[in-house]
Each structure stands twice: as C-alpha cells, then as structure tokens.
Amino acid sequence: MTHARAASSRGGRTTGWWAKAWLRAVEEAAYGEADLRRGRSLARSGRVGAVTVDGGSFVAAVEEGDDAHTVSGTVEVWDDVAAATLVEIVAARSGRVTELLAGELPLSLVEDAEEAGVELVPYAGELDATCTCQAWLDPCPHALAVLVVLSVLLDRDPLVLFHLRGLDREQLLARLHARTVSAPPGPDAVEGDDEGDLDVGLDAVLRAQRLLELVARGDTAADHLF
C-alpha cells in the first residue's frame, strides 16, 4: 500500500503512544544527534515522497537539494503462529476492532500480545534501512527521515504497523470474520457476548466499506441502503 506525503501536513508530530514508541526506536537507531536533526528536518519540510508499505518492508524517495535518494527498509514480520495469536488477542475483547479502525491502538492489546510473545512496536535494532546515497553509516539522515514519516503514518493508522508486521487491514478483518463465522457458539453462549459483538461489529465494518466503495463510484445501487 502506498501512503501519500504525510509529515509536512502535521509538522511530523505524533500523539499516539505507539507512534511515540516508534520514534524512540528511531532516535535510538540514529548514530548521532546531527543525523537525527537532519532527518527530522527533511521529514518535516515535506522532502519525503509517498511511502510504500508492504509486509516486512517499506520504500520511499527523499529529496535533498538537487538530488533524490531511494530509501528501503525492513521490519521483522510475524510468523503464522504469531499472526494467529494476534488475531485471537484482537478478538478477545469487545471493541478492539472498532478502536483499531478508528485509529487507536489499545495499550491492553499490546500488553496481551507481549505476554503471548508477539511484539508489535519494533526495537531500534530491528529497524533496518538503507539508502542509495551510499552513506557509510545506516540509517543515514534520509533513512531517518522516512522512519520519522512512518511514525506519522502509524499515528494516523496503527494498522500500518500491523501491515509492516505482515498482517494488513484486509487480512486482519478477513481472519476475524472467518473466526467468528467458523466457530460454533458454545453451550454457555448468550446474546450480547463478546463473540456476538465481534461478529456484529465486523459485519457492520464490511457493510460500511462496501457502501463507501459504491458511493465513491456514484453507483445508484447504494441508494436503497440509506
């Protein structure tokens, strides 16, 4: 998924604790304060282009003077067991899906994930980024600029972090939906329990996404849904 320029519109500032945690990792990954200041300046002045995020990787162009450099980086992805565990953790408490889709990452979710051995926010040593400027140290200021911009993207949408870890938004919703559809209700299940709430919430999200797609296309088939 490609994300348009982000940091210049907000000055590169973050408010979510998870984005601040990412920034702390970026600061620790920098080899010196001068490189970090230069990277922040490039990010906040809008010199970082659109950032393309995929499972385990990201890439973006950074302009400086008359030159343009390409930064590419990697983040460790979850294996199948970790991804499945994370899905179970998201589904374990009612309201977590709604919070994630609303741009919030519940601290309790991260705590539960860490307790289960699943790490969300990477440490400094896990942020691997290289640049075509051929600096003798990585991450160079251009790479740091991209990492700063990523903090803004994460701040706006914590599911970008999930995507970097190998579980994008569509995959997460699909797994949660499949989980609630395939799992039969237990003998003690009652109306309004967490499983039911999750299923109803996911159904509403999927319907809303479909409606937005129809409206965006100007499809008259959406009229009866109002």
Count of beta carbons in the 10 Å neighbourhood of residue 185: 10
224, 123 in Cβ contact below 8 A? no
126 DSSP 8-state letter: G
pLDDT-derived band of residue 102, with 50, 70 and 90 as boundaries?
very high
Query: Does pLDDT of 195 surpass 50?
Result: no
Domain boundaries of the chain, sorted by first residue = 2-77+121-164, 80-117+168-177+188-216
Q: Is the pLDDT of residue 17 over 90?
A: yes
Task: Report the b/e string of 104-113 with b at 16+ CB within 10 A.
Answer: bbbeebbebb
- pTM (2 decimals)? 0.77
- Report the percentage of the chain scoring pLDDT > 70: 74
Among the ranges given (30-34, 36-40, 136-140, 210-214), the one the predictor scored with the smallest mean pLDDT: 210-214
In the chain, which residue ranges form alpha helices assigned H by DSSP? 7-10, 17-29, 33-44, 80-92, 96-101, 107-115, 141-156, 159-164, 169-182, 194-217
Higher pLDDT, 204 or 29: 29
